[in-house]
Amino acid sequence: EAGVTQFPSHSVIEKGQTVTLRCDPISGHDNLYWYRRVMGKEIKFLLHFVKESKQDESGMPNNRFLAERTGGTYSTLKVQPAELEDSGVYFCASSQDLGYGYTFGSGTRLTVV
């Protein structure tokens, strides 16, 4: 079974530019999550999809962040325009059922310069 796949693995962009991160969950997993870890701090929840619907987007920092999951398969997270404080590692995770933990991808390291 393929794991959760994220790309790119690294991205360096200038302040003000746009970046789109992609996540392919494990096939058949309805639940998809985005988390972010800023340097040395805790991993913070961004949002949760159930299929194509946003179940909880309470962790999204502001309206510069837009997450989509068209057709309930892969998801994208767009940051537009990027700011310096957006730098960090963005993790995607997926699960089939609630309450049994989920599988994380390897993350995308975003650096905004």
Residues of this chain that interact with another protein (CB under 8 A) are: 4, 31, 33, 35, 40-45, 48, 55-56, 59, 91, 93, 95, 98-99, 101-107
Which residue's CB is nearer to another protein, number 56 or number 83?
Answer: 56
- Kindly state the smallest distance separating residue 105's Cβ from another protein, in Å: 5
Shortest Cβ 16–another protein spacing (Å): 29
Question: Phi/psi zone of residue 71: left (φ > 0), alpha (ψ -120 to 50 degrees), beta?
Answer: left
- The whole-angstrom separation of Cα 80 and Cα 72 is 23
Closest approach, Cβ 56 to another protein, in A, equals 4
Alpha-carbon distance of 11 to 88, in angstroms, equals: 10
Residue 14 or 27: the one with the smaller Cβ distance to another protein is: 27
Kindly tell me which of 55 and 80 has the beta carbon lying closer to another protein: 55
